Amino acid sequence: MKRLRLHRDVTLADLAEETGISTSTLSRLEAGLRRPTLEQLLPLARAYGVTLDELVDAPPTGDPRINLRPIPCGDGSVILPLTRRPGGIQAYKFVLPTGTDDAEPDMRTHEGYDWVYVLNGTLRLVLGEHDLILKPGEAAEFDTRTPHWFGSTGAGPVEYLSLIGKQGERAHVRAAPRQGPAE
């Protein structure tokens, strides 16, 4: 932190005024005599114009824009969370291994709203009384209070994206207007 402050040519008093953190606390933080709290790190990151990761010298991650830490499941499927922030719509990529066409669905319900988009393979979506087959490029949306189940078929593995939002929260989809014939 001291290196950042000196690089900006700012005194402890100036930094204290800008962040609302006392000069003695800033001095102890720079000397390593005190551990910073999140309430202190946020104004310091803003004052220095750096991310929290840069301020605390966090180890680098694969892609800084998303955190692709796969979550393997016992059935051979993998879930990749694509969003980091809590609240709002959460994005996931699912990869399911080859299934069987006669798999018995284990229907689930929960609060929320789901949008599904198939990337590769064939996705079987059982939604209430409907047993649907979705191919690459096809999408579905539904209230998750409706009993539902996702599975792959005997045709091979399937990859799909899922956006899950809170109850009543819906995605706003906009399409470009159709272009008429050239005049």
**Digits of tens for pLDDT over the chain (183 positions)?**
888 888 778 899 999 999 999 999 999 998 989 988 888 988 888 887 777 777 777 666 555 555 567 888 888 899 988 876 666 788 899 999 999 988 899 999 988 899 999 999 999 999 999 999 999 999 999 999 999 999 999 999 999 999 988 765 555 555 556 565 654
Residues in CB range of 130: below 8 A, 6 or more apart: none
- Supply the pLDDT for residue 125: 96
Tokens of 162: 């899922």
Q: Judge contact between 93 and 83, C-beta under 8 A.
A: no
- Supply the pLDDT for residue 146: 94
- Dihedral angle over CA of 99, 103, 104, 105, nearest 10: 40
- Cα 99 to Cα 16, 29, 130: the distances in Å are 61, 55, 19
Q: What is the pTM of this model?
A: 0.57
- Supply the pLDDT for residue 111: 87
Tokens of 31: 């000397």
User: Distance (Å, rounded) from C-alpha 135 to C-alpha 115?
Assistant: 15
